[in-house]
Amino acid sequence: MNNKKDNSRISIFYSLLMLFLLSGVIVFYINNLIIVNNLINTNSEIKENINKTIQSNYQFQIEIEKETTFEKVRKIAEEKFNMKISDSSALNRSSLVIKKSDLN
């Protein structure tokens, strides 16, 4: 009879131990879910920042292309640096050579 009481106490001990381990595993699992969710949110924010940066780079590229058209560059060269280009030199594809001594 004494043997049955010991078995029931042991089974209650093991069942409590199993419940404790199961609760630890559940807490670990929920913690991992929270961490993964935070990582997903961070990843999403980083992707949004990358997309915004790409869009602004495209806009800057468009602005650069607008500002570096031949007509604008020619106008600035004529006004600020008194440089003139003749139509014949553009047609002949002759190159412009500037010596370093001329720059000083």
Please, which residues have CB within 8 angstroms of residue 74's CB and are 6 or more apart in sequence? 85
Instruction: Report the distance separating Cα 96 and Cα 99, nearest Å.
Output: 10
Residue 92 confidence (pLDDT): 63
Residue 41 confidence (pLDDT): 97
Residue 94 per-residue DSSP state: P
Residue 55 confidence (pLDDT): 96
Residue 71 confidence (pLDDT): 80
Instruction: Report the distance separating Cα 88 and Cα 83, nearest Å.
Output: 15
Please, which residues have CB within 8 angstroms of residue 1's CB and are 6 or more apart in sequence? none
Distances (CA, A) of 73 to 46, 57, 64, 79: 38, 22, 12, 10
Residue 79 confidence (pLDDT): 85
Regions in the chain scoring below 70 on pLDDT? 1-10, 86-96, 104
Alpha helices in the chain (DSSP H): 2-67, 70-81, 87-92, 100-103
Instruction: Report the distance separating Cα 42 and Cα 48, nearest Å.
Output: 10
